[in-house]
A and B are shown apart, each in its own frame.
Chain A
Amino acid sequence: NAGVTQTPKFQVLKTGQSMTLQCAQDMNHNSMYWYRQDPGMGLRLIYYSASEGTTDKGEVPNGYNVSRLNKREFSLRLESAAPSQTSVYFCASSTYNYQPQHFGDGTRLSIL
């Protein structure tokens, strides 16, 4: 029973490189989310997918794109990484907008 699995766990990029963060859930949840966590800033929503086939912007979507590949998988792409995108990225899932959200253990991304 893995829950929400994120890959990779750590990544270092150079400015301008591209990267896709992967997320998969095995709880048959309909909704999936991408957050970033920065010191003193809490968790900020980047994009979410309320159900398979739909995606919407959250609070901080600039510089990111997402793909809801199927019901299980939701990926986050950085097309041209910038140092300001250095952060810990968390994927979460839930049954529609019914809480609770279940979180993965994060991807720690550094952009030099």
Chain B
Amino acid sequence: QQQVKQSPQSLIVQKGGISIINCAYENTAFDYFPWYQQFPGKGPALLIAIRPDVSEKKEGRFTISFNKSAKQFSLHIMDSQPGDSATYFCAASRLGYGGSQGNLIFGKGTKLSVKP
């Protein structure tokens, strides 16, 4: 199966709080797990990505945690700010493969609202 399941659909967090978005995948051949951030009226933009050889990757306030055995990965946004309010998409693919194997499979998205 090629699905990537993302939860929650929407999330409201107070300024300064931690935002957590979860994704689960089925295809054990996936080896590239990016997160995209999308602001209203704009296209998605790569935020952070992880390969399965590490369990965590941090870039500033954004951290991906990866659990290979559970086939799950999550995005943590520390010290959430109103400017983080956007829709976040997780995705998965087989990095470096041509054809359909290399295409990104996206989750359905999480709309994050950070209240001041």
Q: Are A and B genuine complex partners?
A: yes
Hey, which bits of chain A sit against chain B, CB under 8 A? 4, 33, 40-45, 48, 50, 56, 58, 90, 92, 96-106
- Distance in angstroms between the alpha carbons of A13 and B42 in the assembled complex: 22
**Number of cross-chain contacts by CB at 8 Å:** 67
Residues of A within 8 A of B98 (CB): 50, 96-97
Given contacts A42-B89, A99-B32, contact A105 B42 (CB under 8 A): yes
- The tally of residues in B whose CB lies under 8 Å from a CB in A reads 27
Q: Which residue of A lies closest to B101 (CB)?
A: A97
Hey, which bits of chain B sit against chain A, CB under 8 A? 6, 9, 32, 34, 41-46, 49, 89, 93, 95-104, 106-109
- Distance in angstroms between the alpha carbons of A99 and B49 in the assembled complex: 10
- Other-chain residue from B9, B93, B102 in contact with A40 (beta carbon distance below 8 A): B9
- Interface pair A90/B43, CB less than 8 Å apart: yes
- Interface pair B43/A42, CB less than 8 Å apart: no
